Amino acid sequence: EFIANASHELKTPLTRALSSIDIALLQTEIRRSEMDLVKQDILEIDNLIEKLLLLGKVREGAMPKGQIKINLLMETIQKKLYPELFSKQIALQNDNKLPIIIPLPLEYAQIVFSNIISNAIKYSPEKSVVIVSSRETENSLWEVRVKDTGPGIDPKDREHIFDRFYRSNKARRSQGYGLGLSLVKQICDEYGIIVRVESMVGQGSTFILSFPRI
């Protein structure tokens, strides 16, 4: 069933890529716009395949050990997501004041936080702010919060937000396959990190990661 679903998801960008190529070939001079579409679709496929491979690795339990300081991670994420931030003129505000160490190796920490922050950018209005903050809870856990000012998540969608291939009606209007947050959840589960979301329609969303202090 998983392979069938994955194959179905792969067909959409492939079909678009082939259509763009056909249009380009009909022209006496290949236009850059069609080639840009082809490149974009191929990159989508590559990204999807990477996520599928990582999902397979997580399900097999082949997870390396590691950890990274949150401020170092945020510097890496800022550089990685700069094109997305720049295109919408969104500021990524790092309000971390605590010496938090994320119990994830760099590769997986980047996947978790890149997916969450990228979603925050996608659904936030232009010239807004995505805030990453932290605190220590009453039961001595570290808590990292990623807050956006987007449209919020409908209650009926919140319970499925981490399901594989699930996309809300709003999410279907933008690019994506519903794999990112599923991958986030599976990685967090493997490393003992609790991930949840708080959201109200019209008031944005906050993704929260909780884990023991190191």
pLDDT at residue 94, rounded to an integer: 94
Sign for the CA dihedral angle at 29, 33, 37, 42 comes to positive
% residues pLDDT > 90 (the chain): 38
Residues 7-21: what's their mean pLDDT? Answer: 67
Token pair recorded at residue 146 = 């990623």
The answer for residues whose C-beta is within 8 angstroms of residue 175's C-beta and 6 or more apart is 44
Across the chain, mean pLDDT equals 80
> What's the pLDDT tens digit per position in 152-201?
988 888 888 888 665 655 544 455 546 788 889 988 998 999 999 999 89
The secondary element (H helix, E strand) that includes residue 12 is helix 2-26
The pTM (predicted TM-score) of the whole model is 0.73
Residue predicted with more confidence, 86 or 53? 86
SS3 132: strand
pLDDT at residue 4, rounded to an integer: 45
> What's the pLDDT tens digit per position in 100-145?
999 998 888 988 999 999 999 999 999 999 999 999 988 889 999 9
Residue whose token pair is 């097999």: 60
**Which one, of 4, 118, 111, 11, lies nearest residue 58 by Cα?**
111
Instruction: Evaluate if residue 7 carries a pLDDT over 80.
Output: no
